[in-house]
Structure 1
Amino acid sequence: MMSWHYKTFDQFTAAEVYELLRLRSAVFVVEQDCVYQDLDNQDQAAFHVYKTDGRRIIACARVLAPGTAYAEVSIGRVIVDLEYRGAELGVELMLRCEEWIWDAYPKSKEIKIMAQCYLERWYGRQGYVGQGEEFLEDGIPHRIMSKTIA
């Protein structure tokens, strides 16, 4: 049975942490052929939004409080399992993160993300606008994007 979950890092079970890191490694390291340090000490301070298919995590993202990665609240590590892509699960994931942000940070006026450039149009359809120039992060072109929520 598929279900959405909302947790702080301390609320995760060991099996859930393993599942989260398995999915992120499968996509960000193996699929994208990018060797990088995923464990950046921000997961512990993040709020995690994820969906399971009853046995494993199939989509997830983390929300970082204002002042953590940027002055604004931010969403990062957005990921959907390869098997579940094309079903608008990523759109639903972003909407669920944004809804959580509206409740948790009602005074926030903007959400900031660091988007891989090949996903810029996709994020644009979700209301995010590019800021500044493209740059390399771990060898992959990225651009900062933001969405006004006030």
Structure 2
Amino acid sequence: MEITFKIKRFNELTISELYQMLQLRSEVFVVEQNCVYQDIDDKDEKALHVVGEIKGQIVAYSRLFKPNDYFENASIGRVVVAEKFRANKLGYDLVNEAIAGIQIHFGTQKITISAQLYLKKFYESLGFLQVSETYLEDGIEHIEMLRI
């Protein structure tokens, strides 16, 4: 299966893309992870959106922030792949696309993320290092990670 990635500003997203992106985030972060939290958080308008599509359907997504928007460094957030596509290892493609997007759009390689603890090895394989103790965010264990 061929995935196509696009990076868009909020005002460049189509209504269909916005709907699919919010639906995917809700499907995974709220329903699958059984975590009631405010996903629509007023940060989408300042983010760049990495959208991964297969046959016109958004199956992978993340958002990018320039330095000082979220952390001191540039950051990646809301990293999500639809459950039925996870076996295809699309998460690696998505994060690599996000890293490249930060380098191209923000001119930096230094990236901070707030990662769910169970994904520590995944992010380490992509060059991130743990830089904090474990903390709870929306009832889920997280760690801060840095990629230089």
Question: Corresponding residue for 2:119?
Answer: 119
- Taking the aligned partners of 2:47 and 2:134, their CA distance within structure 1 comes to 26
Q: Which residue of 2 aligns with 1:56?
A: 57
TM-score by length of structure 2 reads 0.95
2:145 equivalent in structure 1: 145
Deviation above 3 Å: which 4+ runs of structure 1?
none
Letter in 1 for 2:117: C
Any unmatched runs of 5+ in structure 1?
none
Letter of the structure 2 residue corresponding to residue 58 of structure 1:
V
C-alpha displacement of 1:97: 1.0
Shift of 1:109: 4.5
TM-score, length-scaled by structure 1: 0.94
- Structure 1 position 2, deviation (Å): 4.0
Map 1:14-93 onto structure 2 (within 5 A). 14-93=15-94
Alignment coverage as a number of residue pairs: 147
Counterpart for residue 136 of structure 2: 136
Question: What fraction of aligned residue pairs are identical, expressed as a percent?
Answer: 38
Residue identity in the other structure for 2:104:
D
Equivalence for 1:103: 104
Q: CA RMSD in A?
A: 1.1
Q: Aligned partners of 2:51, 2:109: CA distance in 1, in Å?
A: 24
Whole-angstrom CA distance in 1 between matches of 2:69 and 2:106: 14
Does the CA-based 8 Å contact 2:62-2:78 persist in structure 1?
Answer: yes
Please give the per-residue CA displacement for 1:1-53, whole angstroms capped at 9, x wherever unaligned. 74221100100111111100000000000000000000111110000111111
Counterpart code for 1:91? Y
Distance verdict in 2 for CA 1:52–1:73, change over 3 Å: same
